Amino acid sequence: MKICVIGAGYAGLVSAVGFAGRGHDVACIDKDAGKISKITKGLPPFFEAGLGERLRGVQNAGRLEAGTDYSAIQGADIVILAVGTPSLPDGSADLSHVRAACAAVADELKRSDKFAVVAVRSTVLPGTTEKVVGPAIEKSGVRFGLAMVPEFLREGSALSDFDKPDRIVVGCSDDKTKTVMEGLYGSFDCPKLFVDIRTAEMIKYASNAFLASRIALTNETANICQKAGVDADEVLKAVGMDARLGPHFLVPGSGFGGSCLPKDVSALARHAQEVGEDAPLLHAIHESNQKQKLRLFHMLGRMMHLKGKKIAILGLSFKAGTDDIRESPALSLIPKLLEEGAHVRAFDPEAMGSMRDVFPNVEYANDWEECLSGCDAALLVTAWPEFQKSAAEYKEALGAAPLLDSRRILPPNAAAEANLAYHAIGRGAP
């Protein structure tokens, strides 16, 4: 099949490379010439393990081309829209990128007489594909099919999520479109759910709302355990053995971030209001998560006055395995520390470039040890494998300074044995 993917971000480029790897001819279009220039050189514009090799592989096989020119749409069987849908200040989804991409797609399609399916992969609220995308493409005057294929990838394991999805959801406007989409996903061995377009849109939001609620409840449970002197890991391990709940997403931390969960929970809460439904839980998830992002800051504040103190931060990306800092806990912690007059030094294996643009007044270290050297306290925010050190190694790097850990990287008694001042979210601390 000839596939055209609009938007070469995390969702678009992974899909483009993934479908090319399955033998389709893929053109990837992005309006950002800088991103395209990197992609054409075989370099992904963001960090995702294994993506570079896979990208160069499909390029060498002649299966993937990238450009800023929409003419690549001509002759496509499927046009996949994977542009961003960020939050507006009121929490609703900003559809300006979707509208602009649709206008450009319609403009190209009218020069073609081939039936094409326009498939929305961006996360959009129920009704958007039919009310916004459909009418915009209709302006081309050509026959087309409309589909909605929500993306469920997790940054940090995006390629394996593409290769082995838990399920594929496809919303289709009609049988002809369904046949085309069955062809696209024919080689995938997983449950495939063909539904109507609005249902596909809602499945994505419902999935993210469930995940977000689980993280928020996990964090609140850990916070209570911390105050009650109970080890949250033992509690959550036992909770996860309940077959009705299962073991996933029960790891407490500094709150969820990234380009999806925060904005999707807000957009769904806003949508609930628009359709006349109270959704108090969705609002509470957001509030609980915002509070969690500052938990290490408040723990630290109970231990010392921050003015003039050197505070080290390990981990800036919203989670390990990505350089994405969108909505990361570090984005909440750093301004609070700076406001209190602390000097902040940070290290992250992949995300320092983007964070430097946001906080040029933070000092950036070359490795974890340099980051900790001479600090008054260290905050471990992101669970990168690089930070999985022994208590003795942390003791050597920190001396008497405390380590405040949102991810409980040390076994329960290890810190005491190494005489390390250690306080972990969910494990009895200030």
- Residues of this chain that interact with ligand NAD (CB under 6 A) are 6-12, 29-32, 35, 82-85, 97, 100-101, 104, 122-123, 151, 153, 155, 259-260
Q: Which is nearer to ligand NAD, 82 or 404 (CB)?
A: 82
Convert the chain into a string of H (helix), E (strand) and C (coil).
CEEEEECCCHHHHHHHHHHHHCCCEEEEECCCHHHHHHHHCCCCCCCECCHHHHHHHHHHCCCEEEECCHHHHCCCCEEEECCCCCECCCCCECCHHHHHHHHHHHHHHCCCCCCEEEEECCCCCCCHHHHHHHHHHHCCCCCEEEEECCCCCCCCCHHHHHHCCCCEEEEECCHHHHHHHHHHCCCCCCCEEEECHHHHHHHHHHHHHHHHHHHHHHHHHHHHHHHHCCCHHHHHHHHHCCCCCCCCCCCCCCCCCCCCHHHHHHHHHHHHHHCCCCCHHHHHHHHHHHHHHCHHHHHHHHHCCCCCCEEEEECCCCCCCECCCCCCHHHHHHHHHHHCCCEEEEECCCCHHHHHHHCCCCEECCCHHHHHCCCCEEEECCCCHHHCCCHHHHHHHHCCCCEEECCCCCCCCHHHHCCCCEEECCCCCC
Q: Which is nearer to ligand NAD, 38 or 214 (CB)?
A: 38
> Smallest distance from the beta carbon of 143 to ligand NAD, in angstroms?
23
Q: Which is nearer to ligand NAD, 29 or 148 (CB)?
A: 29
Residues contacting 142, CB < 8 A, separation 6+ = 109, 110, 112, 113, 115, 116
Q: Which is nearer to ligand NAD, 6 or 397 (CB)?
A: 6
Token pair 């995006």 is found at 158
> Smallest distance from the beta carbon of 327 to ligand NAD, in angstroms?
11
> Smallest distance from the beta carbon of 85 to ligand NAD, in angstroms?
4
Single out the catalytic residue among 28, 102, 172, 260.
Answer: 260
> Smallest distance from the beta carbon of 351 to ligand NAD, in angstroms?
14
Q: Indicate if 260 belongs to the active site.
A: yes
Q: Which is nearer to ligand NAD, 31 or 336 (CB)?
A: 31
> Smallest distance from the beta carbon of 208 to ligand NAD, in angstroms?
8
End-to-end CA distance of the chain: 59
Q: Which residue number has the CB closest to ligand NAD?
A: 9
> Smallest distance from the beta carbon of 242 to ligand NAD, in angstroms?
28
> Smallest distance from the beta carbon of 83 to ligand NAD, in angstroms?
4
Q: Which is nearer to ligand NAD, 2 or 31 (CB)?
A: 31
Q: Which is nearer to ligand NAD, 76 or 306 (CB)?
A: 76
Q: Which residues are catalytic?
A: 260
